């Protein structure tokens, strides 16, 4: 199991593809699965477009509109919206390894999604 | 494959972490993956905060606000909102097993999310 | 790794269960995991009800209401709503194989979810 750290200053999607790909190379696996796991409850892992930076900004904005912080929430920390977004995107993503490479579409990257910044975060990569 | 049952009376998140952890111990696996799978279409599996009970209540409330039951829905059973929430949270979660233990963050638990109660439900755990 | 193609003309959920099941049979695996992976950023893989066609229409409609195309979006292609839905449903689903069969609930099917039609799409199935 590989462990990686990142520091987040703002809400949004942080590209972690290079780190995950490096773990796949280090493992020497030619065929298998790669699980990327976020151990936090106000962040997530997601896969989406890497080419145009506005896509990830629009994703964060669209999620904020769908899951705003509501006055009726009871959680005293005041970050229930971040908890909801974490469950909606999910904390675990499973990727395929084929011929020694992570299988990703042309426009896909893997992102760590931060919904309650700033934080010192980490994530795990497991290859089987 | 392990099979577990639960009875749900209300909409919301039911903590199933102990059952999943027991399956991991029973398997004797030291390294691998653990898949938790919900075979229902109006329920889901999600991972989120276990410490403050209000978090899971706020999650259920926030999902209800984002995905209400709409008059325009055509499904005659009247539970299309529950079907949507099932797809949004997802019916399958993949966790990592490291050194014989389920890898979970400090505040994470695994939940069975019920969106169409009351029901007799079950879920599967597969360890590889 | 198996690769399948489909052509989408409309937004919505396309049933791909037969194709995934065929891959499981072809693999000859009796026990394991089956990962269904979508390499696109405006589509997704989801598991939901197969019996009543109105369910999948209501799912598409409910997602459209929660994640509409917003005037404030900056992505020039104008399909940020489709990118959001892709991340919300997720591009990867992990299923269990038990006794040579894909484990699915009575009412469950596996769907390719198209949010930006028409397109020539494909998806991967990996069995371990």
DSSP letter for each residue of B51-68: S-HHHHHHHHHHHHHHS-
The tens place of each residue's pLDDT in chain C, 128 residues long, gives 999 999 999 999 999 999 999 999 999 999 999 999 999 999 999 999 989 999 999 999 999 999 999 999 999 899 999 999 999 999 999 999 999 999 999 999 999 999 999 999 999 999 99
How many other C-beta atoms are found inside a 10 Å radius of the C-beta of residue C60?
18
Question: A74 touching B, CB under 8 A?
Answer: yes
Identify the three-state secondary structure at position B50: coil
Question: C26 touching B, CB under 8 A?
Answer: no
Residues A100-125, mean pLDDT to the nearest whole number: 98
Q: In what order do the strands lie in the sheet with A43-49?
A: A12-15, A108-114, A43-49
Residues B18-25, mean pLDDT to the nearest whole number: 98
Ramachandran region, residue A99 (left: φ > 0; alpha: ψ -120 to 50; beta: rest): left
* Domain of residue A96, CATH code: 2.60.120.460
- Six token digits for residue A76: 């005293």
- Confidence (pLDDT) at C101: 97
- Confidence (pLDDT) at B80: 97
Degrees, nearest 5: CA angle B73-B78-B79: 95
Total residue count of chain A as it appears in this document: 128
Tens digit of each residue's pLDDT (9 = 90 or more) over B87-109 = 999 999 999 999 999 999 999 99
Residues B69-98, mean pLDDT to the nearest whole number: 97
What are φ and ψ of residue C22, in 5° steps? -60, -40
**Cβ contacts from A onto C, under 8 A:** 93
Residues A50-64, mean pLDDT to the nearest whole number: 95
Considering only CB atoms, B67 lies closest to which of C62, C103, C104, namely C62
Considering only CB atoms, B83 lies closest to which of C55, C104, C105, namely C55
Total residue count of chain B as it appears in this document: 128
Question: C100 touching B, CB under 8 A?
Answer: no
Dist CA A17 CA A20 (whole Å): 5
Q: Find the DSSP H helices in chain A.
A: 17-27, 53-66, 80-89
Question: C80 touching A, CB under 8 A?
Answer: yes
- Confidence (pLDDT) at A7: 98
Interface partners of chain C (CB pairs < 8 Å, 3 or more) are: A, B
- Confidence (pLDDT) at A114: 98
Looking at the 3D structure of chain C, how many domains does it have?
1
Contact: C105, B1; criterion CB under 8 Å: no
Please give the mean pLDDT across all residues of chain A: 97
Interface partners of chain A (CB pairs < 8 Å, 3 or more) are: B, C
Residues of chain A contacting residue B88, judged by C-beta atoms under 8 Å apart: 88
Contact: A62, C40; criterion CB under 8 Å: no
Question: A101 touching C, CB under 8 A?
Answer: no
- Six token digits for residue C96: 């269990």
Q: Which of residues 35-54 of B touch C (CB under 8 A)?
A: 35, 37-41
Question: Which residue in the block uniquely carries the two structure tokens 């499981």?
Answer: C24
Residues of chain A contacting residue B126, judged by C-beta atoms under 8 Å apart: none
Degrees, nearest 5: CA angle B108-B111-B117: 155
Query: What are the DSSP E strand ranges found in chain A?
Result: 2-8, 12-15, 32-37, 43-49, 92-98, 101-102, 108-114, 119-127
The β-bridge partners of B12 are B114
Dist CA C86 CA B2 (whole Å): 31
Question: B126 touching C, CB under 8 A?
Answer: yes
Q: C26 near C104, Cβ under 8 Å?
A: no
* Structural domain harbouring C19: 2-127
The band of B54, judged by pLDDT with boundaries at 50, 70 and 90, is very high
Contact: A92, B59; criterion CB under 8 Å: no
Tell me which DSSP letter residue C17 carries: H
């Amino acid at each position: 199991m590989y462990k990686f750290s990142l520091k987040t200053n703002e809400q949004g999607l942080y590209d972690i593809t290079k780190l995950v790909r490096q773990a796949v190379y280090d493992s020497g696996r030619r065929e298998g699965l790669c699980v990327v796991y976020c151990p936090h409850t106000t962040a997530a892992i997601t896969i989406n477009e890497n080419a145009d930076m506005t896509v990830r900004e629009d994703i964060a904005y669209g999620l904020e509109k769908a899951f705003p912080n509501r006055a009726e929430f009871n959680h005293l920390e005041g970050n229930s919206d971040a908890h909801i977004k974490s469950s909606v995107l999910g904390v675990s993503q499973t990727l395929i390894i084929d011929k020694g490479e992570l299988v990703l579409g042309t426009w896909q990257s893997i992102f760590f999604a931060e919904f309650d910044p700033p934080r010192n975060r980490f994530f795990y990569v497991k290859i089987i």
